[in-house]
Chain A
Amino acid sequence: MVIVPIHQSYSAPTTTAEDTLLKDVTGSELQKIIDSYKGEKAVLVNIWATWCAPCVKEFPEIVKLQRNYPDDLKVIFVSADFPQQRDEALNFLKKQKVDWTTYFKTGKDQPFIESLSQEWTGALPFTKVIDMNGDLVASWEQSASYEKFEHHVKTAINP
């Protein structure tokens, strides 16, 4: 039996900036995060992936939207990349100058999809806008323009 001194076998967990920028999340955890903004901010959830061309195309528009509505809107990005593409997702977030916590989908597809929306079929990108009362304003598959995002966000801010 090999006895490993405790100071060698254990190292205190350290939080890096990268851990904060991209955190693992399951569908149920994501719902709790969304709910935490109820009564405080409108929420826009966007499910994206580095390999998804329409996601990459619309991404800067959503970043712009967060910058334009810092007090009333919380954008929650969730990467649906495969685990081996996690570094690519992180690099993309940095390149897009995202400076708030985003998430990395873990767990099976079906419970994740259904926890977000019964209508979502699983195609990416997927966006869901929730108003300050926690009620759904809009959800859609496919990419969107800044104008479309803003239209629904304005409704969500002033329900």
Chain B
Amino acid sequence: MKKQYLLSIVPIVLGVCLLAFLPSQEALLEELPIGSQAPMTDVEVKDVSGKMLTLKDVAKENGLLVNFSCNTCPWVAAWEDRYNPIAKLAKENGIGVVALNPNAAIRDDGESLQDMKQRAEKSNYQFYYALDEGAKMAEAFGATRTPHIYLFNSDMELVYRGAIDDNAKSAKDVEQPYLKNAIKNLAAGNEIDPKTTKSLGCTIKWPS
């Protein structure tokens, strides 16, 4: 009995010892994997119009585009000239669009619902812009930065994740319009390639 017990705990002890020597990547969140179901689709969020929405409400016949965005990030400002054209393209292709603001730690410093309302008016947002209270949506999506894109198909499965395109600073110098291509391919039933991309962005300001 004692021998059996020892045999059963040895692999556990060895595993723990091994873990101690592995590099530490403690704060790297896992982004939602491709093929995953959209999380929290029934949870209500407040849009800048005052309307309560769920992701399920926003989705259209071909899918849903979620953009984790905010008011205070220079990378959002750099890409913002592409927000409305992309929203238009998505809507033309039967895809609903919502931007979610997850910057819960700095609501009193430029990221309140009132600030969001002003930003949406100033930039004439043609899509929903809703408050991600407590950054719970961002956490469930594994979002890390703004802007951070998640595109779902009609079954609410993730088909594209990452950047808007490969040039934040200049729309006219974009070589790879990743998101536009993904939207068109999703609507046409074609393969999306690449399915994931990366770009620099402002870290999400998580609640403490």
Contacts and interface: CB of A to CB of B under 8 A. Distances in A.
B197 interface: yes
B31 A121 contact: yes
Interface stretch (A5-13, A92-100, A137-145): A137-145
Chain A contact surface mostly = mixed
Interface in B14-46: 23-29, 31
Interface string A128-156: 00000001111111100000000010000
- Among B145, B148, B199, B206, the most chain A Cβ lie within 10 Å of the Cβ of B199
**Which 5 A-B residue pairs are closest in the complex by CB-CB distance?**
A123-B145, A138-B24, A140-B27, A123-B203, A123-B144
Nearest to B204: A123
Interface of A: 51-52, 54, 80, 82-83, 108-110, 112-114, 119-125, 135-142, 152
A136 B167 CA distance: 30
Q: B interface, how many residues as a size bin?
A: 20 to 34
B116 to A, nearest CB: 18
Interface string B180-208: 00000000000000000111111110100
B144 A121 contact: yes
A122 B202 CA distance: 8
Interface in B154-193: 163, 166-169
Nearest to B26: A140
A121 B23 contact: no
Contact of B200 (A113, A114, A138, A152): A113
